Amino acid sequence: MNAPAAPLTPDELQRYARHIVLPEIGGAGQQKLKRARVLVIGAGGLGAPVLQYLTAAGVGTLGIVDDDTVSLSNLQRQVIHDTGAVGQSKLESAKAALARINPNTRVELHELRLTDENARALVAQYDLVVDGSDNFATRYAVADACAAAGRPLVHAAVGRFDGSVTVLKPFETGADGTPNPGYRDLFPEPPPAGLVPSCAEAGIIGALTGVVGTLQAMEAIKLITGIGEPLVGRLLLYDALAARFDTVRYRKRTK
């Protein structure tokens, strides 16, 4: 996030006026957003609001990782895509949608599935990663790569009517000098295959992904601009049916 950025243009000053008037953001914070490079894993239910809000916020470069095409059953929650995009690459559909929101944001497409072998090199090209993936193999690969590369990770998961969000910075220490926890401190190992049903099997309410993905976008903006208290060492839990938020604190595991 230290790369130089061109001054905000008159169009950008008007576009981001509601940010710039905030003392916590101001022109300096908007410049940080403009020069930020954010990698978003997945252009689906969580990735859709993340991409839309980060684009609208003025993030300068967004990388998107996805290897899927748009299907009709996606449209109930993946609101970045529309009916006309069915059958198209999710990457191309998302890129077109983001260009309509804000042509100032550069979009980089990565048509692949992240693995332990390719994650680290890709993650290292960005300042921050937002994980909207839907499987444990990708989540572990992304988390391990971010920890190794020293990149903050905004992680979330959803299922049926519940969601969770946390921020991972295991390469730093907290205010008390203790190391921050990582993903494997929260989830030491993936559950046995078949134990956690997929969205296709269990179902999911579409608006839930909007709530949780928007929370991820907010955490990303906080990290980029340096405002507020990110969810480091805290797991934010959302129960949509009860309209309730709870926070669970967690620490680095001791061997």
| Overall average pLDDT of the 16-37 stretch | 97
| Overall average pLDDT of the 173-198 stretch | 85
Among candidate residues 31, 78, 32, the one with its CA nearest the CA of residue 52: 78
| Overall average pLDDT of the 189-210 stretch | 81
Q: Within 10 A of 161 (CB to CB), how many other CB atoms are there?
A: 15
| Overall average pLDDT of the 187-198 stretch | 76
pLDDT confidence band for 5 (50 / 70 / 90): low
Kindly tell me the burial class for residue 66, based on how many C-beta atoms sit within 10 Å of its own C-beta (0-12, 13-18, 19 or more). Answer: buried
| Packing angle, helices 47-57 and 206-225, rounded to 10 | 40
Are 41 and 133 a contacting pair, CB within 8 Å? yes
Distance CA 144, CA 154 (A): 13
| Overall average pLDDT of the 36-43 stretch | 98
